[in-house]
């Protein structure tokens, strides 16, 4: 029965595909760059109006940024509530000269739609709206309650999102959540993930003399570049182990179902080596161990290191200052603020309390069970629409505000989306394939129908 009704829903989606593309083009043509604040309020308003027309009860929550968070609810027939997390902000379009067509003038070429935000994340917002439209047309109403949480600062580390979750947690109940994005890989399989790493981003500053000096003074004046290098060398050893005391204390081992899922995840090691030009991976890891390292182990990465003279030729100078930027990708159940404290104590304990440690960013790792009801429904729905089983990633190596929904609110969460392996999110010529967009809408419609009935098999 579900099957027959779904067929009807799918034909409505096909019939309306052009108007869905038109809505996406309208959204993309409205810049909404969180880095500068350009257009974010207009975008929030435009999106809120579209949701109101669909019958949603829409509220705007102000944040410390210019971009309000949209919370929209459409009451449905069944008992269940499905949440969609999305974001309407986009990355800056720079470098403009590398775009083949202007970033905010969306255009279709060769079956692909180009423009900033077509994939990340406006295409996903529109796919969910289009799916819901088709489902309500066929059913007469939504078979479950739909709750959209759409923020406007995701690309600027979601400032204000955690405050919103704290403030509204009572209203944000849901039985499952579909996270913002996902993509189809080279084999036509939809990649979905059930967790994201956290991150701690810091800057270390070592200071010496008040100004740069002649390097002959290196006999008697301390050199901050050496201080910084010595300090950094205490943070991680050549065996890749992070040496901050207590760094690994809260690291959770992957669950047996996570390991089972990881075993199924395709990971082309030779392709990745060719792509990056490296001969072997760190710790010489390979196979399942490599996947565990990549998805379930924390990192300490020097992102940049600056001091003294690095121009052409030589300049004998004793620098007055040295700066390093570092990020730590964190895994469940590490806490970025706790790791920050441990880093400070570590440096002090090793005699580097003169080095200033600035906190530039912190996000908790987030994790939902890979076998939650919503994950299983979304996987079944994907298999049906894409005609291939999806790739289920228990975690991604990247970071995002997943924790606030999956862990703070405790709503089981899985990602899905309309991108593909060459969607170029954050880069020039961001694009989606129209066929993926069509399938992505159908996938969301199937999730809505199947989750309402909890029909897992």
* Least distance between Zn ion and beta carbon 148 (Å): 18
Applying CB under 5 A, which part among 58-66, 112-120, 157-165, 227-235 lies near Zn ion? 112-120
| Closer CB to Zn ion, 124 or 372, in the complex | 124
| Closer CB to Zn ion, 87 or 380, in the complex | 87
* Least distance between Zn ion and beta carbon 426 (Å): 6
State which H helix or E strand residue 146 sits in: strand 145-151
Longest dimension (CA), the chain: 84
* Least distance between Zn ion and beta carbon 197 (Å): 15
From the list 120, 180, 363, 376, which residue makes contact with Zn ion (rule: CB under 5 A)? 120
The CA distance from 440 to 422, in Å, is: 16
Give, as ranges, the residues between 296 and 355 that touch Zn ion (CB under 5 A): none
| Closer CB to Zn ion, 63 or 121, in the complex | 121
* Least distance between Zn ion and beta carbon 154 (Å): 6
**For the chain, first and last CA: distance in Å?**
13
Size of the site for Zn ion (CB under 5 A): 1
- Is residue 95 within 8 Å of residue 108, measured between CB atoms? no
Applying CB under 5 A, which part among 71-79, 120-128, 196-204, 369-377 lies near Zn ion? 120-128
Applying CB under 5 A, which part among 35-43, 116-124, 254-262, 376-384 lies near Zn ion? 116-124
Beta carbons within 10 angstroms of residue 453's beta carbon: 15
| Closer CB to Zn ion, 157 or 333, in the complex | 157
The CA distance from 172 to 165, in Å, is: 8
Q: Burial-class residue 9 by CB neighbours within 10 Å (0-12, 13-18, 19+).
A: buried
* Least distance between Zn ion and beta carbon 89 (Å): 9
Provide the 8-state DSSP code for 90.
Answer: B
Q: Which residue is nearest to Zn ion (CB)?
A: 120
| Closer CB to Zn ion, 120 or 258, in the complex | 120
Applying CB under 5 A, which part among 47-55, 113-121, 415-423, 440-448 lies near Zn ion? 113-121
| Closer CB to Zn ion, 30 or 145, in the complex | 30
User: Can you say how many angstroms the Cα of residue 372 is from the centroid of all Cα atoms in its chain?
Assistant: 20
DSSP string covering 348-377, please? HHTT-TTSEEEEEEEE--EE--TTSHHHHH
User: 167: helix, coil or strand?
Assistant: helix
| Closer CB to Zn ion, 120 or 151, in the complex | 120
Binding track, positions 198-227, relative to Zn ion; x by CB under 5 A: ------------------------------
> Exposure string (b/e) for 213-225, b if CB count within 10 Å is 16 or more?
bebeeeeeeebbb
Residue where the block lists tokens 């929209």 = 72
- Asked whether position 180 contacts Zn ion by CB under 5 A, the answer is no
- Asked whether position 363 contacts Zn ion by CB under 5 A, the answer is no
* Least distance between Zn ion and beta carbon 225 (Å): 35
The CA distance from 119 to 126, in Å, is: 10
| Closer CB to Zn ion, 56 or 183, in the complex | 183
The CA distance from 58 to 107, in Å, is: 30
The CA distance from 298 to 319, in Å, is: 33
Applying CB under 5 A, which residues contact Zn ion? Answer: 120
């Amino acid at each position: 029965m579900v099957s027959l009704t779904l067929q009807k829903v799918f034909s409505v989606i096909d019939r309306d595909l052009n108007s869905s593309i038109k809505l996406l083009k309208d959204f993309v043509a409205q810049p909404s760059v969180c880095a500068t604040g350009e257009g974010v309020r207009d975008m929030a308003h435009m999106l809120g109006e579209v949701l109101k027309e669909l019958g949603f009860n829409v509220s705007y929550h102000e944040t410390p940024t210019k971009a309000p968070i949209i919370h929209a609810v459409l009451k449905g027939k069944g008992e269940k509530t499905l949440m969609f997390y999305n974001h309407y902000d986009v990355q800056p379009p720079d470098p403009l000269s590398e775009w083949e067509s202007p970033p905010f003038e969306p255009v279709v070429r060769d079956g692909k739609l180009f423009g900033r935000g077509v994939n990340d994340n406006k295409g996903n917002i529109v796919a969910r709206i289009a799916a819901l439209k088709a489902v309500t047309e066929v059913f007469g109403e939504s078979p479950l309650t739909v709750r959209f949480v759409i923020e406007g600062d995701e690309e600027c580390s979601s400032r204000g999102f955690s405050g919103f979750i704290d403030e509204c947690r009572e209203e944000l109940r849901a039985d499952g959540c579909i996270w913002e994005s996902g993509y189809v890989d080279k084999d036509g399989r939809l990649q979905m993930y059930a967790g994201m790493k956290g991150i701690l981003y810091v800057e270390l500053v070592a200071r010496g003399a008040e100004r740069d000096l002649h390097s002959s003074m290196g006999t008697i004046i301390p050199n901050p570049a050496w201080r910084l290098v010595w300090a950094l060398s205490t943070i991680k050893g050549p065996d890749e182990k992070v040496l901050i005391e207590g760094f690994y204390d809260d690291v959770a081992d992957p669950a047996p179902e996570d390991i089972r899922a990881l075993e199924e995840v395709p990971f082309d090691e030779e392709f990745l080596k060719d792509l990056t030009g490296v001969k072997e991976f760190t710790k010489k890891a390979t196979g399942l161990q490599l996947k565990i390292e990549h998805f379930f182990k924390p990192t300490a990465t020097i992102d940049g290191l600056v001091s003294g003279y690095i121009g052409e030729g030589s300049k004998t100078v004793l620098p007055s200052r040295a700066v390093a930027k570092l990020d730590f990708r964190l895994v469940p159940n590490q806490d970025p603020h706790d790791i920050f404290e441990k880093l400070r104590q570590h440096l002090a304990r090793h005699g580097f309390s003169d080095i200033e440690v600035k906190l530039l960013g912190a996000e908790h790792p987030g994790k939902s069970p890979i076998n939650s009801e919503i994950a299983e429904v979304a996987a079944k729905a994907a298999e049906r629409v894409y005609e291939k089983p999806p790739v289920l990633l228990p975690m991604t190596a990247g970071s995002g505000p997943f924790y606030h929904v999956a862990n703070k609110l405790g709503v089981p969460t899985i990602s899905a989306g309309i991108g593909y392996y060459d969607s170029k999110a954050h880069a020039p010529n961001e694009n989606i394939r129209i066929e993926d967009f069509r399938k992505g809408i159908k996938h969301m419609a199937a999730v809505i129908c199947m989750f309402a009935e909890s029909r897992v098999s």
